[in-house]
Copies of this chain bind each other. A is one copy, B any other.
Amino acid sequence: MRALRPMIPLRMVSKRLISKTVNLRVPISTNPAMKFPCLDRLEQISEELKQRNGERAELPDSVESGKRGNEDPVYGNVKSGFELFHSYEPLFLDYCGVLPNFQIAYETWGKLNEDKSNAILIHTGLSASSHAHSSPLNKNPGWWEDFIGPNNKALDTNKWFLICTNVLGGCYGSTGPSSLDPADNLPYATRFPMLSVHDIIRAQNRLIKEKFGISKLYCSLGSSLGGMQSLCYGQLFPNEVQRVVSVSGCARSHPTSIAMRHAQRQVLMADPNWNRGFYYNTKEFPNRIPPHVGLKLSREIATISYRSGPEWESRFGSERIDDEKSPVLCSDFLIESYLDHQGQKFALEYDANSMLYLSKAMDLFDLSQSNLNRSAMKREHARMLFEANKLNTTCEEILQPPKRKKSRTTSEDEVRKDLVEGMKSLRDLNVLIIGVKSDALMPHWQQRGIYEVLGGDNNHKAIHIELQESQSLFGHDTFLLDQENVGGNIGKFLCNDL
């Protein structure tokens, strides 16, 4: 758009010159109006999603959970090729909810030996599927493709029987917020009950015992959310696991990590398409689209916490995509273009509600004794309500009134003692804790903290490894990338070689 004649007030210009688009594009201005190709693109994606809804208006209300991935082109970029384990006994939950039944998607590699003593359960991070490695059923490379395989890989499939699940609450085949509530056969959405990491582990434990008949795992192993789960398995079932590996995990979430995830959730929830969780298409509401903008932004924030400044410095520096162009408010620096790409990739692949529930479960993660006691009470309460057929009832109604506070009421020392008590069952197991110096999300001192709570140098069964910045600059994501220092050390630990 060229200027007509500058300095003439708008009201003197013929009305027909004013663009009719939503945004007022005034033809006369001192400087040109900024352009926003990034917003144009997001609007275009929304438009495409709406059109796809039209094409599949015949989609039935009840899509069988395990298969919905194949029928849902929106957020359901679900990996196929997993097996399903169904549990028809209700699962009572740590925050007073209940799942009347549930399913867990899982994959396996290697062969379970005769006495069932070589099974390793791999726990995933927040957004991963069960597809840790390629398989005959799904030939795509898995998220730990290079860590798993016969012979020289960290997890030797000639030796071990590896099991990986999609976590409860996820969207890659396991029961989660996008699954149907048996009460009305409509998606749970935010009627899904709040989950804890402990709930996820109790569901996995059923798979291990009921499906495979394994009474004792050789190892429970995971990183990030998986590192939390891994410790949790040892805490809850110390007699059903020999070894525990926890990489970039913690015993209790730190306020900075909670703050980072809080921002991700609030940003997603502010997307009008999120619609308080009810964005799934149903017969009654066939025109909803998922909150892809909110999920993209949320993933960009997450990505900031997954990598490290020094890595970005060496990869992108502070360089712009093009120094000669006028700066723009859409992506302009190399780092911005990277974040934008990471967010966009995720936005149409993952289920937004799964992100919310699992992110919250990470915030709530706490291996302390008082947390165990509190949640035991609430699970019992949920069982009572369920058996009395009082569904759809909040627990609060018969618990004590809220105590509001503005600053912490327990000292760091009290918290530590509470953790020592809660984690005492883990002290009898062989435990490997790996921390990464460049990790900003679950900082290295949190892993050192786990080691100390387990007895530190006085506990000969616990091993603590801290990767220095000279070893890895990949921050929290190191566990996905560092075959030598993460994979290598895990491989040795499994063979009692550390």
Q: Which residues of A contact B (CB under 8 A)?
A: 1-3, 6-10, 13, 22-24, 26, 28-34, 36, 38-39, 42, 95-100, 181-186, 188, 190-194, 252-256, 258-260, 262-263, 265-267, 269-272, 275-278, 284-285, 293-294, 297, 300-301, 304, 309, 312-319, 321-327, 329, 331-337, 339, 356, 360, 363-364, 366, 374, 389-396, 399-400, 402-410, 412, 415, 443
Which of A185, A317, A339: most chain B CB closer than 10 A? A317
Instruction: Find out whether the CB atom of B26 lies under 8 angstroms from the CB atom of A184.
Output: yes
Instruction: Find out whether the CB atom of B181 lies under 8 angstroms from the CB atom of A334.
Output: no
Q: How far is the CA of A91 from the CA of B275 in the complex (A)?
A: 46
Instruction: Find out whether the CB atom of A98 lies under 8 angstroms from the CB atom of B30.
Output: yes
Which of A95, A266, A277: most chain B CB closer than 10 A? A266
User: Given A33-B191, A258-B335, A276-B39, are A412 and B23 neighbors across the interface (CB < 8 Å)?
Assistant: no
Instruction: Find out whether the CB atom of B321 lies under 8 angstroms from the CB atom of A36.
Output: no
Q: How far is the CA of A265 from the CA of B392 in the complex (A)?
A: 40
User: Given A185-B9, A301-B301, are A334 and B408 neighbors across the interface (CB < 8 Å)?
Assistant: yes
This chain: copies in complex: 2
Chain B residues near A315 (CB, 8 Å)?
407-408
- CB contact between A259 and one of B24, B323, B336, B399 (< 8 Å): that residue: B336
Chain B residues near A356 (CB, 8 Å)?
329
Chain B residues near A297 (CB, 8 Å)?
263, 266-267, 270
What is the minimal beta-carbon distance from A382 to any residue of chain B, in angstroms?
A: 9
Q: How far is the CA of A321 from the CA of B276 in the complex (A)?
A: 22
Chain B residues near A407 (CB, 8 Å)?
315-316, 334
Instruction: Find out whether the CB atom of A6 lies under 8 angstroms from the CB atom of B294.
Output: no
Q: How far is the CA of A275 from the CA of B6 in the complex (A)?
A: 24
What is the minimal beta-carbon distance from A361 to any residue of chain B, in angstroms?
A: 9
Instruction: Find out whether the CB atom of A393 lies under 8 angstroms from the CB atom of B265.
Output: no
Q: How far is the CA of A96 from the CA of B9 in the complex (A)?
A: 23
A402's closest neighbor in chain B, by CB? B322
Chain B residues near A405 (CB, 8 Å)?
319, 321-322, 334
User: Given A36-B269, A191-B26, A267-B267, are A394 and B309 neighbors across the interface (CB < 8 Å)?
Assistant: no
Q: How far is the CA of A32 from the CA of B385 in the complex (A)?
A: 12
What is the minimal beta-carbon distance from A98 to any residue of chain B, in angstroms?
A: 6
Chain B residues near A391 (CB, 8 Å)?
3, 6, 28-31
Instruction: Find out whether the CB atom of B278 lies under 8 angstroms from the CB atom of A319.
Output: no
Which of A95, A184, A272: most chain B CB closer than 10 A? A184
What is the minimal beta-carbon distance from A492 to any residue of chain B, in angstroms?
A: 32
Instruction: Find out whether the CB atom of A309 lies under 8 angstroms from the CB atom of B443.
Output: yes
What is the minimal beta-carbon distance from A225 to any residue of chain B, in angstroms?
A: 16
Instruction: Find out whether the CB atom of B186 lies under 8 angstroms from the CB atom of A300.
Output: no
Chain B residues near A9 (CB, 8 Å)?
184-185
A276's closest neighbor in chain B, by CB? B23
A62's closest neighbor in chain B, by CB? B9
- CB contact between A266 and one of B30, B300, B316, B408 (< 8 Å): that residue: B300
Instruction: Find out whether the CB atom of B255 lies under 8 angstroms from the CB atom of A313.
Output: yes
Top 8 nearest A-B pairs by Cβ distance?
A3-B392, A317-B408, A256-B309, A255-B312, A10-B184, A29-B191, A255-B335, A31-B193
Instruction: Find out whether the CB atom of B29 lies under 8 angstroms from the CB atom of A300.
Output: no
What is the minimal beta-carbon distance from A2 to any residue of chain B, in angstroms?
A: 7
Instruction: Find out whether the CB atom of A293 lies under 8 angstroms from the CB atom of B270.
Output: yes
Instruction: Find out whether the CB atom of A400 lies under 8 angstroms from the CB atom of B317.
Output: no
A333's closest neighbor in chain B, by CB? B258
- CB contact between A312 and one of B256, B275, B335 (< 8 Å): that residue: B256
